[in-house]
Chain A
Amino acid sequence: MRPDGLESIRAVQSALAELIAPELSSPFAQDAAQTLQMLLESLAAVWDSAADELRRDNQSLAGLLMSSREAIKSASDSNESFASAVSEIEQRLSEDVGDSIAIAALSSRNDALRRTLEHTLMAFEDLTGEPPSAEITSVRGDIYGHLRDVATRGWSFWDVSSFRRRMTGIHQTTTSRDDAP
């Protein structure tokens, strides 16, 4: 269907910028319009990729949970948190999640997997005394690697507004001017 979702978001952004914003006289309304632009931009950025990223994240999360379960089982010292984590992982991985690729279904699964990952990571973080096994150290690193990969895809409010880029541009201009002989 054309215009597709992304094209429609771009149309809304254009109308907001070219037709609506110039008519706004109040600074508060202008500011709200700019925030709407940022919100729309953050939606546009994930419009096409959201489902695929969620599907891949869910696969990755399931893999991390399996690795965590094996690392815990191979650890010489067990504890209540570990036993609870293994039990939760096994239950989570055995759930019938269907094959829907609707974003709501994928998000719901993502939430469930992340919650189990959170509990598992906390069990690792709560380890005291002897250093954790090499397996646990390794999977703990992999978990943070995954969390970092996902977070790095996100936007920060100081980037999105283009404020930072604009400032960097001006800053560079100023710096080069200052550096000029």
Chain B
Amino acid sequence: MLEQRVREYLTVTLGVPDVAISGLYRIPGGASRETWSVDARWLDNGREVSRGFIFRRDPDASLLVTDRDVEFRVMKAVAAYGIPVPRMHWLETDGAWLDRPFFVMERIDGCETSPTKVLMDPRFFPGRDRLAGEFVDILARIHALDWRAAGLEFLGPPAGESDCALTEIEKWEAVVDRDALEPQPVLRAAFRWLRRSLPAPAQRIVLVHADYRTGNFLCTPEGEIKGVLDWEMTHLGDPLEDVAWACIRPWRWLGDEKIGGLMDRGDFYRRYAEATSIEANEDAVRFWEVLGNVKLAAIFITGARSFCDGRTRSPMMAFLGRNIARLEVEIMDLMEV
């Protein structure tokens, strides 16, 4: 059924007499949107064309309530500035074709996203140093991007450099207010702590990816990052928000202190500062790490709410919703309470 509708969509959108499709399957992960892969073949002036596409479809319910238009427009815009992202093809904002809105992008083959593969598979070990370097360099490029020139002012810049932190506190506090199903004393205390511990104003206002971490890029065994994914939370703000998000314990993966499972914290800060002239001030990063853990807890709470309200039967939503406790430990450790 879905296969037939995807075929019809591609036939009409590509403007060709017929498209043959195969290998349609749902890719695991992508808890905020459904991700489907498909191979398509068609004739273009008698020449056979073969291409892989990724469909990102809005879910019935999600960990995040985000606008797919934003993700589509930002990924399209940053590609022109040397940020590796899959090429964006089409955005469909209604459910006429596939019941729910979706967008279609290029499939980049020969890469992995899973931290299990990227960090555990021996094939990826020789590329680890290169990967660490690319991880920092691409983040630096995102932060160096002239977002006005790129047409990203629609994201709504904070009023000033000193407003970035408060804007994010308010955003995630509102999510907890809206979705929490039970008392959240640690998160409530964390919001108090965050308001008391506001960092120095952002050194500059940049495009923040907001989910930049191991697991959200496509990379080769040689350590080349060919696509940065999952831009649904992107916004304009403080670059250290991304730096700290990459540092939080859930994304360290290897059970040690290596950032993203890739490099020591000091190396990460140093490489980043060399590439951007932005210093990763310890107090500011600590602030943003507390906020990062709070944000992740808030995202899980949204998933739990979706599950308990019956909007999804996803076991992942149930599982994550039941497991914010260790984030609370991390938050209390960082707050030193």
Contact = CB atoms under 8 A, between A and B. Distances in A.
Contacts of B327: 156
Contacts of B249: 158
Interface string A3-18: 0000000000000000
Given A39-B315, A163-B116, A167-B120, A114 B256 contact: no
A160 B323 contact: yes
A167 B183 contact: no
Interface stretch (A73-81, A95-103, A168-176): A168-176
B93 interface: no
Interface string B57-95: 000000000000000000000000000000000000000
Nearest to B26: A28
Interface string A136-172: 0000010110011011111111111001111110110
A94 interface: no
A179 interface: no
Contacts of B188: 118, 121-122
Interface string A100-133: 0000000000010011011001100110000000
- At the interface, is chain B mostly helix, strand, loop or mixed? helix
B325 A151 contact: yes
Contacts of A26: 25-26
A38 interface: yes
A150 B325 contact: yes
A154 to B, nearest CB: 2
B255 interface: yes
Contact of A153 (B25, B26, B256, B325): B325
Interface of B: 25-29, 115-116, 119-120, 125, 182-186, 188-189, 192-193, 249-250, 253-256, 261, 315-316, 318-320, 322-329, 332, 337
Interface of A: 26-28, 30-32, 35-36, 38-39, 42, 111, 114-115, 117-118, 121-122, 125-126, 141, 143-144, 147-148, 150-160, 163-168, 170-171, 174
